[in-house]
Amino acid sequence: MTQVLPGDGNAIAEAARLLQAGQVVGMPTETVYGLAANALDEDAVRRIFEAKGRPQDNPLIVHIGGMEMLPMVAREISCEAQALAQAFWPGPLTLVLPKAGAIPAVVSAGLDTVGVRMPAHPVALALIAQAGVPLAAPSANRSGGPSPTQVAHVQKDLDGRIPLVVDGGRCPVGVESTVLALGEKPLVLRPGFVTAGEIAQVLGRPVEVAGQKAAFSDGQTPQSPGMKYQHYAPKAQLTLLEGGFEKYAEYVAEKAGKIAGVYALCFDGEAEKLAAPAVCYGRAGDAASQAAGLYAALRTLDERGAQAAFARVDEKTGVGQAVYNRLLRAANFRVIYL
Ligand code: TXA
Ligand code: MG
């Protein structure tokens, strides 16, 4: 049984003790819950991969509690990296930087770079400070499924596989951090709450976003190894429907009349106008609310036994780009244009 403790001083002390002893612990961040271990301890980091069932070639993000920890993780911190850290940390931006020697290769899956961020959740910051070491942490879900945004999600996925998860309430951002590579051309490898536009403003030069469709054949190395895996998927077969609400409602009604277990994944206030049971994931025109609600909604579809779900899709710019990126992967790139 995994212990769940409210995120107070006691819990943080107990979690820090476990981390120092080489154990893995579930911790809240502002984006999603993470599965943390001492990033400097190779055996501890291996336990993360075991608990999650994560492929070994997918690198982890290292979480720091203050700028003084950054040199432990990255051997070179460019002026641009410093400017971005100043602008967005603590917060949901991961910088891919040259890896320091103290970080074992298992963290970065053998890459010479390491993803690093300073999370904006008070419990995460207190935990890193008390543990006194940077923490490697992927999202605290079983590999392949939707990320956890509530402590109950972590319990459901990892019960009995980790000793403790600290409850920090609902994650306010709801989708994982933006991952940025700072090369000749800055490239967003995974869109998130910090947008390419906001990053470009700080850098004073254009920022590209990696293609949404990640089709990698065996042997090819994608820039961000995480991009080649099936992600965030509910058990129900999810399809994205592009088009206005009228056409969406018609399409859902037609499907619901033909096959069993059809659900709508729609925006707040739309459920009553649909001929199928519905789960809402946020407000139309409000990407931040969609990001905050998406993973819980995907999990609700599974709890209700949905067989097939059809999702409404909104704007794909700004934070909407992060929402669409996760929806596309959860749907395994199934999109229908109405
Ligand atoms: O918001 C988040 O980032 C959450 C919370 C817990 O901090 N963490 C998270 O970790 O989403 P994870 O492991 O689920 O996703 C890490 C992503 C993967 O897509 C991985 O490929 C990429 O970051 N990544 C990590 N290190 C990298 C590196 N050195 N180069 C390129 N991509 C990297
Ligand atoms: Mg993940």
Reduce the secondary structure of the chain to three states and give it as a string. Answer: CCEEEECCHHHHHHHHHHHHCCCCEEECCCCCCEEEEECCCHHHHHHHHHHHCCCCCCCCEEECCCHHHHHHHECCCCHHHHHHHHHHCCCCEEEEEEECCCCCCCCCCCCCEEEEECCCCHHHHHHHHHHCCCEECCECCCCCCCCCCCHHHHHHHHCCCCCEEEECCCCCCCCCCEEEEECCCEEEEECCCCCHHHHHHHHCCCCEECCCCCCCCCCCCCCCHHHHCCCCCCCCEEEEEECCHHHHHHHHHHHHHHCCCEEEEECCCCHHHCCCCEEECCCCCCHHHHHHHHHHHHHHHHHCCCCEEEEECCCCCCHHHHHHHHHHHHCCCCEEEC
Q: How far is the CA of 137 from the centre of ligand 1 (A)?
A: 8
Write the residue with the smallest CA distance to atom 13 of ligand 1: 138
Write the residue with the smallest CA distance to atom 7 of ligand 1: 34
Q: What is the pLDDT of residue 72?
A: 97
Q: What is the pLDDT of residue 233?
A: 82
Q: What is the pLDDT of residue 226?
A: 58
Ranges in the chain, pLDDT < 70: 212-230
CB of residue 179 inside a 6 A radius of ligand 1: yes
Q: What is the pLDDT of residue 143?
A: 87
Write the residue with the smallest CA distance to atom 17 of ligand 1: 226
Q: What is the pLDDT of residue 223?
A: 55
CB of residue 107 inside a 6 A radius of ligand 1: no
Q: What is the pLDDT of residue 218?
A: 39
- The answer to whether 318 and 197 have CB atoms below 8 angstroms apart is yes
Q: What is the pLDDT of residue 219?
A: 42
Q: How far is CA 181 from the centre of its chain?
A: 17
Q: How far is the CA of 174 from the centre of ligand 2 (A)?
A: 12
